[in-house]
Amino acid sequence: MRPNIYLVLLFFFATSVFAQKSEITESLYETYEKYKETSLTKRRIKYNELQPLLDALKSDSRFTIKTVGKSIEGRNLSLVSIGSGETNVFLWSQMHGDEPTATQAIFDIFNFFRSPDFKKEKAAMLSNLTIHFLPMLNPDGAERFQRRNLLGIDINRDALRLQSPEGKTLKRVRDSLDADFGFNLHDQSRYYNAEQTEKPATISYLAPAYNYEKDINEGRGLAMKVIVFMNNILQKYAPGQVGRYNDDFEPRAFGDNIQKWGTNTILIESGGYANDIEKQEIRKLNYVSILSAIYTIAKENYKNIPLEDYEKIPQNDRKLFDLKIENATYTLLGSDYILDIGVNRLEVDKEGNNDFWYSSRILDQGDLSTYYGYETFDAKDYRIIPGKVFTEVISSKQQFTSLKSDYLKLLKEGYTYVRMTNIPTELIASPFPIHIVSKNYELPEFKIEVGQNPTFLLEKNGVLKYAVINGFLIDLSSPQVNFKNAMIFR
């Protein structure tokens, strides 16, 4: 009888966890737009955009807002708390100033708690838990959209020395709360993929190690179970797009030390998602998975999840390009070679750090058969052809404007550059898929080489079929172009 009873209990526990998961998760996903904070729509958010939202929370008696520290430049670090339960859950975001996805999701979560909806679920959360949020831990870095703080240090490597006021604040708050669970919220490169797949690691998780041996004590084990729970949720909305971050122990890191100090710590890294440059879909996935995790912590259903399922989550890998060209024929010194070319579009911030333009680069070339692309083009039987400079020099605004409608014709004729006299100083990138060069600019010798801007044409049977301009693949037979900018060479 005992094996049968065991199987019945195991089935009951598994069914209970699944039912609880589907009970709230689908509703959270389907109703997300109702709670999305509409004033935050792009990654480059600033401290002053958050202050009116925090001020609005002060009028809601369910929230407690405290200033718990200041950044080097004197910006307030605010702790927002809600709930009355004995279990403390602590979430902090944007320790790195250019990693804002979860910060946006936190303000969506505030809207969720302020709404009259989900009464039963919120009652379970807020009666069993006290939930604390420290959004935008590095506001000075966020102001400049940079990883490091104003001192130039990585706050996430300051857990021992505690030289940054932001790090001191994080340590002090963690200690004062003696938090049971901690959510360490970050962004990772969009070029991470789930191991041995072409799928981006849209979300990656980690229960950080607290020693070099990577031992699993009770607290780390509980964090792993919550991660398995969140992974199961995300598989419905981003199947195969979850990774497991490397768990090598880093003695200077906050996540590792907070785990060591007794808080069951969960690292969430927001990576890439196709056609989601501003990470708004990933923000939604953060919202859904974090709220669902908070709910399962409140209900304690996660405790029944098998610990071994954590190891089944594929590890993070970094083998994604924005564009991968496969099997292209490249002629060098009279001989033909077959090359794969991996291209990334690198962001360059505009003045004020509110927007960006792309300066793309060839990251790798050769046999890239173990790599993948957000966009992949098989160039078998295509030959790489260098582009030419258009013979006419653009000297008037009217001629410049006409290029917007004529660029496809020029590309079909093999022109990838146009000369322009008196390029306006405020023009920092070409708005159409042809590079702009000054009147006397001399193009360097054409070569496919790591570090070069990826600009060339693809010819098949003597006919130009595609152009690659600043890392964007353009089908010369189609007027539809997925494109942001080309370059200006003065």
Work out whether strand 181-187 and strand 87-93 pair parallel, antiparallel, or are unpaired.
parallel
Q: Could you give the angle at which helices 218-237 and 280-299 cross, rounded to 10 degrees? A: 130
Number of other residues whose CB lies within 10 A of the CB of residue 150: 20
**Residue 479, pLDDT score:** 76
Cα distance between residue 292 and residue 286, in whole Å = 10
Residue 280 CB partners (closer than 8 Å, separation 6+): 41
| Amino acid letter for position 122 | K
Continuous H helices in 210-279: 218-237, 254-260
Continuous H helices in 115-164: 119-128, 139-144
Cα distance between residue 253 and residue 210, in whole Å = 10
> Which of 22-26, 185-189, 418-422, 440-444 is the most confident on average?
185-189
Cα distance between residue 98 and residue 136, in whole Å = 10
Buried b or exposed e, range 346-380, using 16+ CB within 10 angstroms:
ebeeeeebeebbbebbbbbbeebeebbbbbbbebe
pLDDT at residue 97 is higher than 70: yes
Please give the share of the chain, as a percent, with pLDDT higher than 70: 96
* Domains within the chain, CATH numbers bracketed: 2-317 (3.40.630.10), 320-489 (no CATH)
> What are the phi and psi torsion angles at 381 (to 5°)?
75, 10
Residues 126-163: pLDDT tens digits?
999 999 999 999 999 999 999 999 999 999 999 999 99
pLDDT at residue 10 is higher than 70: no
Continuous H helices in 36-130: 47-57, 101-114, 119-128
Burial grade of 404 (CB within 10 A; 0-12, 13-18, 19 or more): exposed
- Mean pLDDT across the stretch 14-43? 81
Q: Which of 94, 92, 124, 100 shows the shortest CA–CA distance to 42?
A: 100
**Residue 21, pLDDT score:** 54
pLDDT at residue 325 is higher than 90: yes
Cα distance between residue 329 and residue 367, in whole Å = 13
DSSP letter at 486 equals B
Cα distance between residue 345 and residue 453, in whole Å = 10
- Mean pLDDT across the stretch 299-311? 96
Cα distance between residue 304 and residue 445, in whole Å = 64
Tell me the pLDDT band of 102, cut-offs 50, 70 and 90.
very high
pTM, 2 dp: 0.93
pLDDT at residue 209 is higher than 60: yes
- Mean pLDDT across the stretch 455-484? 94
What is the rounded average pLDDT for all residues in the chain?
Answer: 94
Longest C-alpha distance within the chain, in Å? 90
> What are the phi and psi torsion angles at 122 (to 5°)?
-65, -35
Which two tokens mark 400? 């410049």
- Mean pLDDT across the stretch 47-52? 98
- Of the two residues 15 and 118, the one the predictor is more confident about is 118
pLDDT at residue 13 is higher than 60: no
- Spatial contact of 178 and 88, defined as CB atoms under 8 Å apart: yes
Residue 2 CB partners (closer than 8 Å, separation 6+): none
Cα distance between residue 28 and residue 463, in whole Å = 51
Tell me the pLDDT band of 378, cut-offs 50, 70 and 90.
very high
E-assigned strand segments in 229-304: 242-244, 264-270
**Residue 281, pLDDT score:** 98
Cα distance between residue 280 and residue 81, in whole Å = 25
Cα distance between residue 265 and residue 95, in whole Å = 15
* Strand (E) or helix (H) holding 399: helix 397-412
pLDDT at residue 16 is higher than 90: no
| Amino acid letter for position 27 | S
pLDDT at residue 3 is higher than 70: no
Number of H helices, E strands in the chain: 11, 22
Beta-sheet strand order (sheet of 415-420): 388-394, 415-420, 435-438, 488-489
- Mean pLDDT across the stretch 177-203? 97
Tell me the pLDDT band of 1, cut-offs 50, 70 and 90.
very low
| Amino acid letter for position 228 | V
Which two tokens mark 152? 């130039």
Which two tokens mark 404? 């917007």
Work out whether strand 415-420 and strand 435-438 pair parallel, antiparallel, or are unpaired.
parallel
**Residue 2, pLDDT score:** 45
Residues 255-264: pLDDT tens digits?
999 999 999 9
